[in-house]
């Protein structure tokens, strides 16, 4: 049963229920205490020991029900003896002829453990793993016995061969069902992780519509990881470093014993970020993931103002704050996206209405390809934005070798950027936002 519990913990980890070594020890102690006899008690006790959030409780329930379900051979009917049939010594044949559903299910589970069914990772392995389990149960010997009985002229032997052949067919069906459950438990999550790893490195322009939901989950997970990291740093710095001089001074009335410690306090302002996104057709895909990333970092960003433009620039902060990002971004794109791009006009709109909100604590992030359709790029306004802000960071989805080609104004714009980098994947995005937060913390 210890091996069963270890397999269950592996399945839980595959379903994104975090189980540390210490929690695995707790799980074993829990099972020792409550046992396996009462299914409901076991489920509740393990859930209390392992699931730490409401999402993990939901995933735990699904995993537990799937892992401990034993539906194989439930529809098995009683087999009547065949008069005059020869005695069969093969264990698998005996199980098919007279064994109970529980006996067959136990034999299949033992064979699955021996065949390493918990190691299944790909859908293409299901057929191979099914055959391995059946071979471990004695399928090859059963098939040889069926062939021998079929060649016999005695009607009881032929009838026995027919019954064993039917049992073989049923056994294949039950084994396929068993492996399908193992695939759901151990392999689907691994396949999802491989897909997510591929998407993390895929260019944002190449992301298909069918993968948008998966990409949103990836971006939120990245943002949560960064938020946790920098929020922990901020809380830690509230205590600061021991101020030795002031501590010794206060200890003088107590004979030098430091009853009162004094800590150096370092005030850390959370980042103020202004993000300006080109939402023309060429950049819209990257813009939505940048906005989603930043609006998922609300724990560690003091102020976030978002602006979007194709030609004229519009503030979209209120839309993003009052609606789920998944709903807000399509609305923004519908209103002002997919039009001819004019960076000069967008900078002029920002300078006229919003430049006063930029100060030496503000980081300005611009997402765009810098292609202004040969209109005036207003480099003078870019210089002003650079001089007023803490830093200007330009994220360009195009490779750097394309900068300056055609109508690209990037070589002129980058002169007034503190950082100008290619940002074509969500991994690039995570790395750059991490650098922004480091500059504050």
Q: Indicate whether 265 pLDDT > 70.
A: no
Predicted confidence at residue 196, as pLDDT, reads 77
- In contact, 365 and 276? CB cutoff 8 Å: yes
Query: How is 264-286 classified by DSSP, letter by letter?
Result: E----PPPEEEEEEE-STTTHHH
Residues 339-366 pLDDT 10s: 778 899 999 999 999 999 899 888 898 9
| Residue 227: Cβ-neighbour burial (10 angstroms; 0-12, 13-18, 19+) | middle
CA distance 320 to 150: 73
| Helix orientation angle between 54-67 and 2-14, rounded to the nearest 10 degrees | 130
Q: What percent of the chain has pLDDT over 90?
A: 18
Mean pLDDT, residues 238-247? 72
Helix (H) or strand (E) holding 303: strand 303-309
Weakest mean pLDDT among 31-35, 239-243, 432-436: 239-243
- In contact, 201 and 427? CB cutoff 8 Å: yes
Residue 315: what are its φ and ψ, rounded to 5°? -80, 135
CA distance 62 to 55: 11
Q: Please give the model's pTM, rounded to 2 decimal places.
A: 0.59
Considering only residues 191 and 114, tell me which one the structure prediction assigns the higher pLDDT: 114
Regarding beta strands 272-278 and 263-264, do their DSSP bridges make them parallel or antiparallel, or are they unpaired?
unpaired
Weakest mean pLDDT among 13-22, 173-182, 267-276, 420-429: 267-276
CA distances from 374 to 337, 342, 369 (A): 19, 9, 13
pLDDT interval class at 227 (50, 70, 90): confident
Helix (H) or strand (E) holding 14: helix 2-14
Name the strands in the sheet holding 272-278, side by side, starting at the edge strand that comes first in the sequence: 313-315, 303-309, 272-278, 362-367, 391-396, 419-422
Give 425-429 contacts, CB < 8 A, sequence gap 24+: 425/200, 425/201, 425/202, 425/203, 425/204, 426/199, 426/200, 426/204, 426/215, 426/218, 426/219, 426/222, 426/289, 426/293, 427/200, 427/201, 428/395, 429/219, 429/222, 429/289, 429/290, 429/293, 429/395
Q: Indicate whether 285 pLDDT > 80.
A: no
Q: Which CATH fold would you assign to the domain 272-438? A: Rossmann fold (3.40.50)
Question: At CA 260, angle to CA 259 and CA 265, rounded to 5?
Answer: 155
Helix (H) or strand (E) holding 103: helix 101-115
Q: Which two tokens stand for residue 50?
A: 């392992």
């Amino acid at each position: 049963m210890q091996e069963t519990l270890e397999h269950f913990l592996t399945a839980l980890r595959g379903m994104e229920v975090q189980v540390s070594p210490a929690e695995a020890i707790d799980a074993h102690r829990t099972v020792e205490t409550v046992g396996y006899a009462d299914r409901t008690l076991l489920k509740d006790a393990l859930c209390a020991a392992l699931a730490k959030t409401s999402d993990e409780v939901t995933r735990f329930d699904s995993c537990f029900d799937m892992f401990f379900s034993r539906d194989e051979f439930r529809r098995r009917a009683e087999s009547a003896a065949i008069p005059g049939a020869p005695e069969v010594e093969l264990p698998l044949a005996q199980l098919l002829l007279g064994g109970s559903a529980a006996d067959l299910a136990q034999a299949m589970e033992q064979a699955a453990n021996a065949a390493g069914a918990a190691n299944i990772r790909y859908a293409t392995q299901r057929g191979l793993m099914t055959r391995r389990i059946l071979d471990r149960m004695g399928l090859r010997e059963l098939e040889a016995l069926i062939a021998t009985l079929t060649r016999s002229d005695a009607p009881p032997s032929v009838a026995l061969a027919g019954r064993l052949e039917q049992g073989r067919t049923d056994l294949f069906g039950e084994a396929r069902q068993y492996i399908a459950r193992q695939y759901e438990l151990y392999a689907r999550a691994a396949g999802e992780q491989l897909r997510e790893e591929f998407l993390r490195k895929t260019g944002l322009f190449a992301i298909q519509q069918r993968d948008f939901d998966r990409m949103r989950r990836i971006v939120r997970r990245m943002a949560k990881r960064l938020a946790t990291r920098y929020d922990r740093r901020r809380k830690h710095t509230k205590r600061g470093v021991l101020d030795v001089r002031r501590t010794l001074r206060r200890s003088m009335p107590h004979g030098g014993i430091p009853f009162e410690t004094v800590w150096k306090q370092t005030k850390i302002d959370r980042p103020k970020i202004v993000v300006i996104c080109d939402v023309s057709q060429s950049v819209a895909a990257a813009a939505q993931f940048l906005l989603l990333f930043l609006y998922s970092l609300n724990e560690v960003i003091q102020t976030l103002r978002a602006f979007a433009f194709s030609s004229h620039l519009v503030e979209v902060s209120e839309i993003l704050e009052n609606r789920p990002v998944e709903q807000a971004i399509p609305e923004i794109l519908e209103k002002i996206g997919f039009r001819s791009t004019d960076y000069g006009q967008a900078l002029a709109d920002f300078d006229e209405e919003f430049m006063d909100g930029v100060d030496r604590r503000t980081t300005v992030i611009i997402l765009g390809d810098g292609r202004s359709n040969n209109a005036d790029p207003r480099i003078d306004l870019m210089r002003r934005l650079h001089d007023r802000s803490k830093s200007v960071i330009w994220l360009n989805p195009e490779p750097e070798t394309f900068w300056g080609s055609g109508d690209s104004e990037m070589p002129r714009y980058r002169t007034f950027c503190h950082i100008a980098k290619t940002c074509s994947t969500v991994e690039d995005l995570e790395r750059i936002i991490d650098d922004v937060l480091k500059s504050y913390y």
